[in-house]
Structure 1
Amino acid sequence: MHRLFMGSFAIALYLLPTTALYHNNEHDHWNELRGLTINGSKGLNTSQNQNSRLPLVIDTFQNPTHNDLGFWHGSGENLSVQHEPGFIRLFPTDPDQNFHTQFDNHLCYSLVPWYNEFLHVVFEGTDQFSVSLNQHNDECNPRRSPFPSVADSVQADRYVMHPRSEASGGDEDGDDDEDWDEDWDNEVDMDTDRKSKKHRNIGNPRNSRLKYSNETVEIPPGRRELYIPLTHFEIDFNRVVSVSFNGFYTQEPITLHCVEIVPSVPPPSPENGHFHLPGKLPSGRLVLRCSRPNSFAFGIDDGQPQFSQQIMRILDEENVRVTFFVVGAGLRDPSSNFSTFYKEMLKKGHQVALHSNTHPKMEALQTIREIDDEIIQTVQVFKEQLGIGSSYFRPPFGTVAARLRQQLARHIPNPYIVNWSVDVEDWLWANTSTPEKQLEAFYRDVSKGGNLAVMHYLHPTTIGYLPQLIQHVKGAGYEIMRIDQCLEDVSAPPL
């Protein structure tokens, strides 16, 4: 029922031949301090190369293990890649898979000097993926949790420059944009979005010229470009850790040739289809940890009806309040008695929040209409069965990228998208011969600074360990509360 979210970034780094097809294991952390050098010197830090009038070249994929800044790049969640000097080819099969290229592996990297500039990516293949800018944690310490911290993501196809032959004309077959209402259309130029969707697999049929890494060069046929204003990423630019590519919802390969930050975008012209930048779509706020000092929150997902009274009794005995993330289909099932249970939990002061309608990996859904249906159906059943609304949403399996974030913001005012920095790992250990590893996982993440947990009440062992988990948190000096309270939401009930 659940995927380890931080596993997106937990990978082993292997030194490979220059040409290789490979995927990474999940045993080592992607940010291990490897101290890569180029020509005997360390990679750039925050005091170097900050003349924002010149492009900041992040990655031209000359090396299989590190980028042009001298820091690590690589894949996570078993994403297979093929490297040759000058490109990296990604073979995605799942939206959780990702490819990161880092700004630094020790410290927070400041992109403030480039804040008003543009992320420029040269690539080939599909544009059905998200581009993310990832933020370091408060301590700028890769050994603290969460690492990386929050990200902001945009959908690549909205920012692709289309040559004249792509941008003119187009078929009239249906696409998901017909579902977007007029108010939403006013936020962006929807014509740009439609063109990018209808021509997403067409290569560049002619060479175009641009200012590229301070040299005027040709973009060879077949390659495509996208430009994203850095202002479209809402993170702390004083502590950036990486650019990443994720949220793949097709299995079409993507070949990356260049990732850089440039000071300007080519002006509209017939050759580039009169390209102009779209507006930024509203997007849900991703949270991984509590902001209130000395607070801790349990987010409890998915349960079995036969364990509901036991969970209620434990929480009463420990005198703590938690947040339940509830699947809409379970509320509709009268045999589960979940509606009665969650109404009782609401009366006791617990928070009840959204967890989709049928628990799919929503970023894997092929159409915006399907994502919308999952959101709309669960919002409706909350009103019908519980008489409440919620702006808190936990994505099934922790899978989140640009499409889900944007659609949540379309349907829910100012949504919080809640993942976690502490994982009980009940999905991994509860039904094994070593269920006590759930305790080990929890204690480990708390010791690393995590304070927002994910767990389920699907297995007797997990429920049996819950009092110990609560006592451990109390013993560490934390006050346990609902997630809206730990995030200092002004609409949350007082402590």
Structure 2
Amino acid sequence: MHLLFICSAALLLFLPASALSRGIVDHGHWNELRDLTHNASHDDSQAKSSPPLVIDTFKNPTRNDLGFWHGSGENLTVRHGPGYVRLFPTDPDQNFHTQFDSNACYSMIPWRNEYLHVIFEGTDQYSVSFNQHNDECNPKRRPFPGIADSVQAERYVVHPASEAFAEDDFAEDDNWDCADNVHADAGRKKHKHRKSKGGRRKHSQGNTKIPTGRRELYIPLAHFDIDFNRVVSVSFHGFYTHEPVTLYHVEVVPDVPMPSPENGHYRVPRKLPNGKLVLRCSRPNSFAFGIDDGQPQYSQQVMRILDEEGVRVTFFVVGAGLRDPTSNFTEFYKEMLKKGHQVAFHSNTHPKMESLPTLAEIDDEIIQSMQIFREQLGIESSYFRPPFGTVASRLRQEIARHIPNPSIVNWSVDVEDWLWADTSTPEKQLEAFFRSVEKGGNLAVMHYLHPTTIGYLPEFIRHVKSAGYQIMRIDQCLGDVSAPPL
């Protein structure tokens, strides 16, 4: 029997404020409008020699040092103490945000050539992101946050002298080696962050040996590819072990420590290539449907609706479905390609890829997808939708290793079929869709897993048309020069 691959939009890192507020007890949620006197505007006259920009020292359980909200999302368990917050992750979608503002874009242009400095204790198996506001700097508009860029924390850790590495272990570049089945904390790469004398540290999921004592990260802000005129928060997420991490201090500083024996001759690594995260269409008045895999018995009905409505969409396809001859998915997607639809990657077996313990396992999901696309459909793609919408630095880096200039596509319109399609109130899918479009979303996620969702598809399409949008493929709505003309 063909396996069903279901993307749960509830697990996306960038969620509506109501979802991000989950896991916060008696706290305001992250885009709550606050009547604070803090002025978030800055000008370029600030000199580089100015004091550090202290973002968070965790003295208050609900607000950071800038006077704005900080807190957890996706049911991340947190424990506040005097001058720290301890995170107990169980899922890579869980996150902790500390905001620069609650209602407006925050300009970090004066600090764009400086460094994010984090003092922490515990695991370094997580991602750090800078999050950009949407175009309107309005938290009530979709998407919110607008976009993010992430780096892998362990690459930027300052190792104390007790963990010092021999100079011979420094690589001259950041080329990737070919070791297999290694834990992602060390990465399958040679970078200036160094390998240990005894080879890469190997850990097993949930049983990681964590260094004791406080450690530091120094991350160049230039390593975050966002618009620094529109910053909204810094966040910690993408946890791929269940080991806790304690945050003590988050700030922006002008310099990093000079290499010395005491800091293991620390050198900041270079920024690794990174897939671009996409949440909305950029072409004016455009709208795109990203349709993920579904049940084979509904495929012809989907094809007929798209033909009748005269629209083209993007299908994100799980490789395992193409390998299953009983699904007839290969023939279906070949036909959709002939009709002018876009077909793109959605992993090989649909795991939450950021939770996989090794980079080798992440790579396998990507490579197997690429292989089956070539063999069964005769195509390549540079577009990828992560299963469950879960994305952080490791997945973005690995995608970029295998696919030139990849686009990692999530969404700003959620049909919420995963939540309502198989309930007594399936019409809530329509409500969710209309609500997202009204708030400015223009890139949708849906599936063809349930007859109710497929039954609403014509209404989705007609609503978008009546709102003045032109429906097209995702590559077209992003202005991709390699996309076919409209």
The normalised TM-score by structure 1 is 0.88
Could you tell me which residue of structure 1 aligns to residue 105 of structure 2?
108
| Identical columns (%) | 72
Amino acid at match of 1:339: T
Q: CA deviation at 1:29?
A: 5.0
Structure 1 position 61 matched with structure 2 position 64: no
Q: CA deviation at 1:273?
A: 0.3
Q: CA deviation at 1:484?
A: 0.1
Give 1:92-103 correspondences, 5 Å limit: 92-103=89-100
1:249 alignment partner, SS class: coil
Could you tell me which residue of structure 2 aligns to residue 2 of structure 1?
7
Structure 1 position 190 matched with structure 2 position 191: yes
Give 1:372-451 correspondences, 5 Å limit: 372-451=363-442
- Describe the superposition over 1:104-155 as per-residue Cα deviations: whole angstroms up to 9, x where unpaired: 1111011111111000000000000000000000000000000001100000
Could you tell me which residue of structure 2 aligns to residue 42 of structure 1?
38
Aligned CA distance change for structure 1 residues 166 and 357 (closer, same or farther; 3 Å) = same
For 1:49 and 1:84, locate their aligned partners in 2 and report how far apart those are by CA, in whole Å: 37
For 1:239 and 1:276, locate their aligned partners in 2 and report how far apart those are by CA, in whole Å: 29
Whether contact under 8 Å (2:420, 2:429) holds in the other structure is yes
Aligned CA distance change for structure 1 residues 134 and 476 (closer, same or farther; 3 Å) = same
Whether contact under 8 Å (1:393, 1:415) holds in the other structure is yes
Give 1:8-87 correspondences, 5 Å limit: 8=15, 10-11=17-18, 23-24=23-24, 29-35=29-35, 37=36, 41-42=37-38, 44-46=40-42, 50-53=46-49, 54-87=51-84
For 1:127 and 1:459, locate their aligned partners in 2 and report how far apart those are by CA, in whole Å: 41
Structure 1 position 244 matched with structure 2 position 235: yes
Give 1:216-365 correspondences, 5 Å limit: 222-365=213-356
- Describe the superposition over 1:282-338 as per-residue Cα deviations: whole angstroms up to 9, x where unpaired: 000000000000000000001110000000000000000000000000001100000
For 1:382 and 1:462, locate their aligned partners in 2 and report how far apart those are by CA, in whole Å: 27
Q: CA deviation at 1:2?
A: 1.7
Q: CA deviation at 1:164?
A: 1.2
Could you tell me which residue of structure 2 aligns to residue 219 of structure 1?
none
Aligned CA distance change for structure 1 residues 480 and 189 (closer, same or farther; 3 Å) = same
Whether contact under 8 Å (1:12, 1:30) holds in the other structure is no
For 1:425 and 1:49, locate their aligned partners in 2 and report how far apart those are by CA, in whole Å: 47
Aligned CA distance change for structure 1 residues 115 and 264 (closer, same or farther; 3 Å) = same
Could you tell me which residue of structure 2 aligns to residue 18 of structure 1?
none
Give 1:102-181 correspondences, 5 Å limit: 102-168=99-165, 178-179=177-178
Q: CA RMSD in A?
A: 2.5
Query: How many equivalent residue pairs?
Result: 458
**Unaligned stretches of 5+ in structure 1?**
15-21, 205-221
For 1:456 and 1:466, locate their aligned partners in 2 and report how far apart those are by CA, in whole Å: 10
The normalised TM-score by structure 2 is 0.90
Q: CA deviation at 1:32?
A: 1.0
1:441 alignment partner, SS class: helix
- Describe the superposition over 1:380-434 as per-residue Cα deviations: whole angstroms up to 9, x where unpaired: 0000000000000000000000000000000001100000000000000000000
Runs of 4+ in 1 over 4 A off after TM superposition: 6-9, 11-14, 25-29, 47-51, 199-202
Aligned CA distance change for structure 1 residues 193 and 249 (closer, same or farther; 3 Å) = farther
**Unaligned stretches of 5+ in structure 2?**
1-5, 170-175, 181-185, 203-207
2:195 alignment partner, SS class: helix
Amino acid at match of 1:96: D
2:293 alignment partner, SS class: strand
Whether contact under 8 Å (1:43, 1:69) holds in the other structure is no
Aligned CA distance change for structure 1 residues 233 and 416 (closer, same or farther; 3 Å) = same
